[in-house]
Amino acid sequence: MKTKSAWEIVNIARNPMRKTALDYINIVFDEFIELHGDRCFKDDKAIVCGLAKINHNYYTVIAEQKGRTTKENIERNFGMPNPESYRKAIRFMKQAEKFKRPVITFIDTKGAYPGIEAEQRGQGEAIAKAMMILSKLKVPVIAFVIGEGSSGGALALGVANKVYMLENAIYSVISPEGFASIVWKDGAKAEEASEKMCLTSKDLYDLKIIDKIIKEYDGNSYVKVADEIKKLILQDTLEYKSKDYKDIKEQRYQKYRNMGEYIKDVK
Buried b (16+ CB within 10 A) or exposed e, 205-236: eeeebbbebbebeeeeebeebbebbbebbeeb
User: CA 110, CA 16: separation in Å to the nearest integer?
Assistant: 12
Per-residue binder mask for other proteins (CB under 8 A), 155-194, x = binder? xx-xx-----------xxxx---xx--xx-----------
Rg (CA), the chain: 18
8 A C-beta contact, residue 172 and residue 132: no
- Residue 1 near other proteins by CB under 8 A: no
Q: What does DSSP say about strands 170-172 and 47-54: parallel, antiparallel, or unpaired?
A: unpaired
* Number of residues lying near other proteins (CB under 8 A): 55
| Binding residue for other proteins, selected from 188, 207, 223, 238, defined by CB under 8 A | 207
Residue with Cβ nearer other proteins (125 or 247): 125
Q: Which of these ranges, 39-47, 224-232, 234-242, 248-256, lies near other proteins under the rule CB under 8 A?
A: 248-256
8 A C-beta contact, residue 62 and residue 108: no
Residues 209-228 that bind other proteins (CB under 8 A): 209
Per-residue binder mask for other proteins (CB under 8 A), 35-74, x = binder? ----------------------------------------
8 A C-beta contact, residue 24 and residue 169: no
Per-residue binder mask for other proteins (CB under 8 A), 120-139, x = binder? xxxxxx-xxx-xx--xx---
Residue with Cβ nearer other proteins (51 or 180): 180
User: CA 88, CA 42: separation in Å to the nearest integer?
Assistant: 9
Cβ-in-10-Å burial (0-12, 13-18, 19+) of 259 comes to exposed
Q: How far is the CB of 196 from other proteins (least distance, A)?
A: 6
Residue with Cβ nearer other proteins (52 or 133): 133
8 A C-beta contact, residue 234 and residue 52: no
Q: Which helix (H) or strand (E) holds 237?
A: helix 222-241
- Residue 114 near other proteins by CB under 8 A: yes
Residue with Cβ nearer other proteins (30 or 119): 119
- Which residues are CB-contacts of 211 (< 8 A; sequence separation ≥ 6)? 162, 163, 164
Q: How far is the CB of 65 from other proteins (least distance, A)?
A: 19
Q: How far is the CB of 99 from other proteins (least distance, A)?
A: 21
Q: Which residues bind other proteins (CB under 8 A)?
A: 112-116, 118-125, 127-129, 131-132, 135-136, 151-152, 155-156, 158-159, 171-174, 178-179, 182-183, 196-199, 203-204, 207, 209, 252-253, 256-257, 259-267
